[in-house]
């Protein structure tokens, strides 16, 4: 089973990530997909632009007991004051401050929780990918009813290349409700508050990686970024191939080949095979697997990932990434 999974040492240190070998991006053939191939970029959208109206909810728990909020402020006020070089009040003054907050600003507290999640949602940009190429619904919806294409990416190379972090979508029965109080208290219970990888990844999963079960067939992976530029460039070695839909026209196929060949080493071109006997879609030699990446640090919305002996790159927004590794031959690109 292909999946994104983080692996921890016995003391909770994040040491590696198990990731899919390939990820797939469906597209019709038009000026946008041609441009993205020629210029080697992925498009990152705001959640408000997604086709799912329930996408990335900002539903936040509203009702909290006094004891829960007291625990929250006891942990957060001293911690954040110290970060800004302010000496926290003594225990008596701290309790008095908390009592005043709960007495005079109870409604404002809940509003701030809601607004903070809204801001976080509005700042993020997301590129949606899939762990599968063989779903007929995605070919129908996202690739012009089988007349488009499916791009095949080397996911480890893609993850390591840009100012983004990966999230695998988890499919749920109902839109989740975020609980800022319990989440924060779990952060503070960690040895290094707000730097604990598991807690940060759980936080990201709730807000950026939950979708209703109706979409489970997509097996979606996401790249998330705080960059404001929607066009984010990838290194040419990250694009391994292009799968042509069975209904693609000769003109569109040639346009895709020309656009992809604009890179110095063009990718493999495959064609989707439709087997009506068992209702399957296949591409010869293309089977997804998992590989492991060494991880040297992950924060809530920032990461540095090292693949093998090489280091991560610092990529400025809207700047093409130079080719830094040799490409495999065409015969090797579908398989490891």
Over the chain (336 residues), the average pLDDT of each successive run of 10 is: 83 82 97 95 92 80 93 93 90 95 92 87 93 97 97 92 89 88 86 70 83 95 93 93 96 94 80 93 92 62 34 34 38 46
SS3 assignment for the chain:
CCCCEEEECCCCCEEEEEEECEEEEEECCCHHHHHHHHHCEEECECHHHCCCCCCCCCCECCCCCHHHHHHHHHHHHHHHHHHCCCCCCCHHHHHHHHHHHHHHCHHHHHHHHHHHHHHHHHHCEEEEEECCCCCHHHHHHHCCCCCCEEEEEEHHHHHHHCCCEEEECEEECCCCCECHHHHHHHHHHCCCCCCCHHHHHHHHHHHHCEEEHHHHHHCEEEEEECCCCCEEECCHHHEEEEEECCCCCHHHHHHHHHHHCCCCCCCEEEECEEECCCCEEECCCCCCCEEEEEEEEECCCCEEEECCCCCCCCCCCCCCCCCCCCCCCHHHCCCC
Is the backbone of residue 96 left (phi > 0), alpha (psi -120 to 50) or beta? alpha
How many angstroms separate the CA atoms of 203 and 186, rounded? 10
Q: Which residues contact 251 (CB under 8 A, 6 or more apart)?
A: none
pLDDT at 53: 84
pLDDT at 109: 92
Tokens, residue 313? 């790159």
How many angstroms separate the CA atoms of 133 and 54, rounded? 24
Tokens, residue 320? 């093409």
* Main-chain phi, psi angles of 30, to 5 degrees: -155, -175
How many angstroms separate the CA atoms of 146 and 291, rounded? 30
For residue 9, how many other CB atoms are within 10 A of its CB? 9
pLDDT at 55: 79
Bridge partners, 231 (sequence order): 43
How many angstroms separate the CA atoms of 152 and 285, rounded? 13
Bridge partners, 297 (sequence order): 304
Cβ atoms 21, 290 nearer than 8 A: yes
pLDDT at 57: 66
pLDDT at 309: 31
Quick one: which of 13, 16, 297, 41 has its CA closest to 161?
41
Provide the pairing of β-strand 290-298 with 5-8.
unpaired
Domain ranges of the chain: 5-50+127-169+209-332
* Main-chain phi, psi angles of 320, to 5 degrees: -60, 145
Cβ atoms 318, 311 nearer than 8 A: no
């Amino acid at each position: 089973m292909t999946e994104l999974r983080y692996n921890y040492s016995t003391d909770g240190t994040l040491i590696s990530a198990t990731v899919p070998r390939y990820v797939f991006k469906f597209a019709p053939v038009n000026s946008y997909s041609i441009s993205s191939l020629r210029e080697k970029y992925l498009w990152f959208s705001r959640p408000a632009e997604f086709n799912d109206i329930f996408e990335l909810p900002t539903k936040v728990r509203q009702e909290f007991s006094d004891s829960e909020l007291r625990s929250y402020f006891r942990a957060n006020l001293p911690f954040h004051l110290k970060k800004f070089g302010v000496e926290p009040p003594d225990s008596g003054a701290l309790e008095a401050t908390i009592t005043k907050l709960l007495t005079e600003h109870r409604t404002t507290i809940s509003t701030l929780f809601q607004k903070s999640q809204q801001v976080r949602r509005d700042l993020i940009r997301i590129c949606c990918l899939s762990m599968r190429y063989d779903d007929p619904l995605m070919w129908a919806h996202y690739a012009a009813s089988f007349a488009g294409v499916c791009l095949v990416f080397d996911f480890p190379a893609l993850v390591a290349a840009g100012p983004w972090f990966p999230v695998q979508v988890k499919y749920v029965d109902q839109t989740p409700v975020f609980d800022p109080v319990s989440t924060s208290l779990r952060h503070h219970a960690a040895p290094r508050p707000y730097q604990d990888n598991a807690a940060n990844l759980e936080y990201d999963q709730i807000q950026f990686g939950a979708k209703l079960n109706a979409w489970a067939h997509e097996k979606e992976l996401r790249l998330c970024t705080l960059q404001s530029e929607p066009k984010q460039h990838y290194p040419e070695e990250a694009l391994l191939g292009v799968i042509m839909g069975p209904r693609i026209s000769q003109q569109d196929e040639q346009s895709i080949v020309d656009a992809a060949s604009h890179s110095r080493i063009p990718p493999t071109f495959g064609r989707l095979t439709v087997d009506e006997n068992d209702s399957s879609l296949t591409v010869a030699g293309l089977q997804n697997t998992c590989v492991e990446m060494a991880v040297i640090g992950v924060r809530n919305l920032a990461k540095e990932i090292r693949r093998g002996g090489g280091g991560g790159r610092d990529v400025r927004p809207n700047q093409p990434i130079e080719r830094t590794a040799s490409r495999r031959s065409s015969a090797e690109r579908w398989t490891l």
